[in-house]
Amino acid sequence: MPGLARKMDPVPDHGEESYRGSGRLKGRKALVTGGDSGIGRAAAIAFAREGADVAISYLPEEGADAKEVIALIEKEGRTSIPLPGDIKDEAWCRALVEKTVTGLGGLDILVINAGRQQYREKIEDLSTDDFDKTMKTNLYALHWIAQAAVPHMPAGASVITTASIQAYQPSPILLDYATTKAGIVAYTKALAKQLIERGIRANVVAPGPVWTALQPSGGQPDEKVEKFGEDSDFGRPGQPVELAPVFVLLASQEASFINGEVYGVTGGKGVG
Ligand code: NAD
Ligand code: MG
């Protein structure tokens, strides 16, 4: 920690060269947390290529990655807002939503995706500080950001959260992380039932193994990173860009009858 995508070998494919848009999010205004790298970066690039303005929140230490994403969004002729700061802080969560709404002139796609994953081999090794940091990043921030954002979101808007296959098939070394991912699924399903009364949909993306900085920066032991994703049906991990089409679908009006669902993108490992 922190993990920089630009330092990975091989560098992940977030769609920089490969993602082509077709105007499916024209004029929309999006906020993506963790938009500097990995899955959030792939969603941010795809949203911009589909015609949306995109604000990205990220850890200040990961500003080098964020700078590249901002440049890619602006290259599409879209507005981008950089939001460096720590989402473990409630005041910052509320401030970043306000900065997005002011900067973009509204908000109608909210992707709550930033996450903390640090493995601990034994229950004795999982400190209160670890547990607290994981809960704050993955669950409290979800609530703080959603709570601040929803009053600004119009009918037709979409909320998307990133959970994990860990919500369904938890690893023994990810007690805290897996717990938060199951929590994200429950929270989003409950929120979906509440917000549909306002015409706002909420859905979950649950990735399996994806080649991002999260894993080699303490998310998994080194020997597991070397074999990461080998047990998927494809014998490899997913690339972040392979998640982008699901985020675009859930954000777009084409998903008008999709609410409270969990979309697995697991390479065949399944969610359930
Ligand atoms: P990533 O490290 O590239 O992205 C996570 C981002 O979250 C970071 O770039 C960082 O800027 C941000 N972040 C973390 N802590 C923060 C904090 N305290 N304040 C502000 N920003 C913070 O990794 P990723 O794999 O793209 O992760 C995105 C989401 O996908 C996470 O929720 C993760 O749990 C989930 N996920 C990843 C995988 C995988 O295999 N990579 C699998 C399932 C789920
Ligand atoms: Mg990052």
59 contact partners, CB below 8 Å, separation of at least 6: 2, 36, 84, 86
Terminal Cα-to-Cα distance of the chain (whole angstroms): 30
The CB-based long-range contact list for 22-26 (8 Å cut-off, 24+ gap) reads: 22/50, 23/50, 23/51, 24/50, 24/51, 24/248, 24/252, 24/254, 25/50, 25/51, 25/52, 25/109, 25/248, 25/251, 25/252, 26/50, 26/51, 26/52
Ligand with an atom nearest the CA of residue 174: 1
**What residue owns the CA closest to ligand 1's atom 26?**
38
> How far, in Å, is the centroid of ligand 1 from the Cα of 228?
16
Q: What is the pLDDT of residues 192-204, one digit of tens each?
A: 999 999 999 999 9
pLDDT score for 1: 61
**How far is it, in rounded angstroms, from Cα 13 to Cα 108?**
26
Percent of the chain with pLDDT over 90: 94
Residue with tokens 């409290």: 140
* Ligand 1 pocket test, candidate residues 11, 212, 236, most atoms within 8 A of CB: 212
- Distance (Å) of CA 36 to CA 29, 254, 262: 17, 26, 24
> How far, in Å, is the centroid of ligand 2 from the Cα of 214?
8
Nearest to 223 by CA among 114, 115, 121: 121
**What residue owns the CA closest to ligand 1's atom 11?**
58
User: What is the side-by-side strand order in the sheet with 80-84?
Assistant: 80-84, 53-58, 29-33, 109-112, 158-162, 201-207, 262-265
What is the DSSP annotation of 154-217? Answer: PTT-EEEEE--GGGTS--TT-HHHHHHHHHHHHHHHHHHHHHGGGT-EEEEEEE-SB-STTIII
Ligand with an atom nearest the CA of residue 164: 1
Written as six digits, the tokens of 78 are 């879209």
Strands 53-58 and 29-33: parallel
Written as six digits, the tokens of 170 are 């938890």
Q: What is the pLDDT of residues 42-78, one digit of tens each?
A: 999 999 999 999 999 999 999 999 999 999 999 999 9
> How far, in Å, is the centroid of ligand 2 from the Cα of 257?
32
Ligand with an atom nearest the CA of residue 44: 1
Q: Which residues are catalytic?
A: 177
* Ligand 1 pocket test, candidate residues 33, 39, 138, most atoms within 8 A of CB: 39
Residue 30 has pLDDT above 70, yes or no: yes
pLDDT band at 2 (very low <50, low <70, confident <90, very high): low
Residues lining ligand 1, CB < 6 A? Answer: 3, 34, 36-40, 57-59, 62, 86-88, 113-117, 137, 162, 164, 207, 209-210, 212-215
**pLDDT average, residue stretch 219-241:** 94
* Ligand 1 pocket test, candidate residues 214, 215, 224, 243, most atoms within 8 A of CB: 214
